[in-house]
Amino acid sequence: MFTTMLFFHLTGLSIWLGSLLSLAIITSVLKKQAGSKDIQNLLRKIPGLFSRWLHPSSFIVLISGVFMIISMNISESQKPLWLHFMEKGGLLIILLSIIVLSIVSSKKIKKPLKAANVDVAVVQRGLSTYLVWLTIFIILILSIIFMVSFKF
């Protein structure tokens, strides 16, 4: 059971982190060309397309992590720091990433692109905000991976 959950956990983590990285790269490249109508149509679709991978994979990480911690059968007082950090930090990052990225993509990207007269500067600022949040979540995920890898 533990090894199966570990497989799902690592697979979900790979897809989640890979999707965030891909989304950050694509968004940063397209930000410079936000004036083009074709790029604007693409920018409307990209967050939704990636959300199909981001949210389920982060949920898989959450569920498999809960099952793995339960199967470890360790009392709260015996858990090492890295396990507490992974457990609480991971949960917080998963929930925040789902909420924040959904809100930012709809308010800062999709909404300005729906306007009759698209203001390119507003769209580019929205994309910059989105990129900042993507980068924050990537760094937070990598910090948890670092803590767990070295078992501080």
Q: Residue 64 carries which side chain, given as an amino acid letter?
A: S
Q: Is the pLDDT of residue 95 over 90?
A: yes
Given a contact cutoff of 8 angstroms between Cβ atoms, the answer to whether 126 and 109 are in contact is: yes
Residue 77 pLDDT: 85
Residue 44 pLDDT: 87
pTM of the model: 0.89
What are the tens digits of pLDDT across the range 17-48?
Answer: 999 999 999 999 999 998 888 988 898 888 88
**In the numeric block, which tokens belong to residue 13?**
């983590």
- pLDDT classification of 75: cutoffs 50, 70, 90: confident
- Can you tell me the distance from the alpha carbon of 104 to that of 108, in angstroms, rounded to the nearest whole number? 5
- pLDDT classification of 76: cutoffs 50, 70, 90: confident
Which residue from 42, 13, 18 is spatially nearest to 30, judged by alpha carbons? Answer: 42
- pLDDT classification of 92: cutoffs 50, 70, 90: very high
Q: Is the pLDDT of residue 51 over 80?
A: yes
Residue 3 pLDDT: 92
Residue 25 pLDDT: 95
What are the tens digits of pLDDT across the range 98-147?
Answer: 999 999 999 988 898 888 788 889 999 999 999 999 999 999 999 999 99
Residue 37 pLDDT: 87
Query: What number of other Cβ atoms are within 10 A of residue 121's Cβ?
Result: 10
